[in-house]
Amino acid sequence: MGEINLLENYPRSKRNPQERQNKKTPEIQRIARQFGKEFFDGDRMYGYGGYSYHPRFWQPVVPTFQKNYGLSSQSRILDVGCAKGFMLHDFIQLIPGITVCGMDISQYAIENAVESIKPFVFVADAKVLPFPDHYFDLVISINTVHNLPLKDCKQALREIQRVTKKHAFVTVDAYRNDEEKTLMDMWNLTAQSYMHVNDWVKLFKEVGYKGDYYWFVP
- Tell me the domain boundaries of the chain: 16-51, 54-216
Q: How far is CA 79 from the centre of its chain?
A: 8
Per CATH, the number for 54-216 is 3.40.50.150
Task: Kindly report whether the global pTM for this prediction surpasses the value 0.85.
Answer: yes
Q: Is the pLDDT of residue 12 over 90?
A: no
Looking at residue 191, the DSSP 8-state letter turns out to be: -
DSSP 3-state of 175: strand
Beta bridge partners of 213: 3, 170
Cα–Cα distance list, 68 to 60, 64, 157, 212 (Å)? 14, 6, 21, 11
Predicted local confidence at residue 1, as pLDDT = 67
d(CA 184, CA 152) in angstroms, rounded, equals 21
Compute the distance between CA of residue 176 and CA of residue 178 in angstroms, rounded to an integer. 7
Q: CA-to-CA distance for 148 and 207, rounded, in angstroms? A: 15
80-119 pLDDT per residue, tens: 999 999 999 999 999 999 999 999 999 999 999 999 999 9
- The pLDDT mean for the chain works out to 96
